[in-house]
Amino acid sequence: MAEVVIELEGVRKVYNSGPTRVEALRGVDLRVRRGEFLMIVGPSGSGKSTLLHIMGALDTPTSGRVKVAGREISNLSDRELARIRNRYVGFVFQEFNLIETLTVLENVMFPMALADGEDEERAKRLLLKVGLSEEHFDKFPNQLSGGERQRVAIARALANDPEVILADEPTGQLDTKNSHRIMEVFKSLNEDGRTIVMVTHDLSLTRWADRVVVLRDGKIVEEGSPDEVTL
């Protein structure tokens, strides 16, 4: 049995925005194993993003236990949580979320600057690895296509060699062709041994995963290999 890299037990998340109270997660138990390609699917509003954020120490649960990098995150300081996000996990978002005032290369080096220091050679290697050619390195994000931007975002997620990549609908804004290419990038990273957790509501993507978890109304309702889960 492979080592568990992220572990959730009875995780609840309640959002109180004014008078309304939203229970985004209602008791989620989940273990992410090293090297697996895990996909979390579910309808809009089912709590997928919330779950992913908690898995990456970007958000904390209202109750329940979350262990990331072997540590219970609810007791950690801002600095320690930031350190986990910086080194242990790498986020990839639907909206790419690159920093517009930084070049492609600088975007990839930004998490490095927060850690041990900028390593330009490494940043270049990562960009080439995710399939972005050198001519784009000094461009700004608004000079790139969606597919290219997402490659930069993936390279940035890899900046400090994280244990897990956490991707939230990474193909949500891409056409079919670009979607496919980005999925291939994730697949090849996974084949190199990188753990991947991906959130999507696109059921056609489940075939790329080793394991699929179905979320509905903040609860895991089904779990299994891609062809086991019905829906």
Partner 1 sequence: MITLKMAVRNLARRKVRSLITILGVAIGISAVVSISSVAKGMQHDIKVALGGSASLIVKSKTAPDPLSSLLDQSVEERVRRIPGVKHTVSVWFNNRVVTIGGRRQPIMIAAVERGQYDFVVGSRVEPIRGKLPGDGEAALGSLAWNQIRPRLGDTVDLGGVKLRLAGEFRTSSQLANMCMITTLDSVKALRGRAVSCVFVQTSDPRRVKREIERRIPGVEAIETSKAVQGMINNLRTVEIAGLALSCIAGIVGGLGVANTMLMSVLERRREIGVMKAVGATRARVMKIFLVESMLISLIGGALGCVLGVAGTYVVVDLLQRLEGKAITMIVTPDTILRGFLVAIGIGVFSGLYPAWKAAKVDPVKALRHE
Binding site for ligand ATP (CB under 6 A): 15, 17, 22, 24, 42, 44-50, 201
Q: CA triplet 165, 218, 185: central angle to 5 degrees? A: 20
Residue by residue, DSSP assigns 107-175 as HHHHHHHHTT---HHHHHHHHHHTT--GGGTTS-GGGS-HHHHHHHHHHHHTTT--SEEEEESTTTTS-
Among residues 215, 228, 170, 172, the alpha carbon closest in space to that of 28 is found at 215
User: Taking the CA of residue 25 as centre, how many other CA atoms within 13 Å lie in the half-sphere pointing to its CB?
Assistant: 28
Q: Nearer to partner 1 by C-beta: 114 or 203?
A: 114
Q: Nearer to ligand ATP by C-beta: 26 or 180?
A: 26
* 147 makes contact with partner 1 (CB under 8 A): no
With beta carbons less than 8 A apart as the criterion, state whether 107 and 141 touch: yes
Task: Please state, in angstroms and rounded to a whole number, the distance separating the CA atoms of residues 192 and 216.
Answer: 31
Task: Please state, in angstroms and rounded to a whole number, the distance separating the CA atoms of residues 113 and 160.
Answer: 10
Q: How many residues bind partner 1 (CB under 8 A)?
A: 35
Among 3, 72, 95, 184, binds partner 1 (CB under 8 A): 95
Task: Please state, in angstroms and rounded to a whole number, the distance separating the CA atoms of residues 126 and 192.
Answer: 13
Strand 37-41 to 211-216 pairing: parallel
Indicate the burial class of 50 (C-beta count within 10 angstroms; 0-12, 13-18, 19 or more): buried
Q: Nearer to partner 1 by C-beta: 78 or 227?
A: 78
Q: Nearer to partner 1 by C-beta: 149 or 211?
A: 149
The mark string for 46-75 relative to Mg ion (x by CB under 5 A, - otherwise) is ---x--------------------------
* 122 makes contact with partner 1 (CB under 8 A): no
For residue 22, the partner it binds in Mg ion, partner 1, ligand ATP, none, with Cβ less than 5 to 8 A by kind, is ligand ATP
Task: Please state, in angstroms and rounded to a whole number, the distance separating the CA atoms of residues 69 and 63.
Answer: 19
The mark string for 156-175 relative to partner 1 (x by CB under 8 A, - otherwise) is x--xx---------------
Among 59, 148, 220, 229, binds partner 1 (CB under 8 A): 59
CB of 91 to partner 1, least distance (A): 5
Among 1, 18, 20, 100, binds partner 1 (CB under 8 A): 100
CB of 49 to ligand ATP, least distance (A): 3
DSSP symbol at 73: G
Site for partner 1, rule CB under 8 A: 49-50, 53, 56, 58-59, 78-79, 82-83, 85-87, 90-91, 93-95, 97-102, 106, 109-111, 113-115, 118, 156, 159-160
Site for Mg ion, rule CB under 5 A: 49
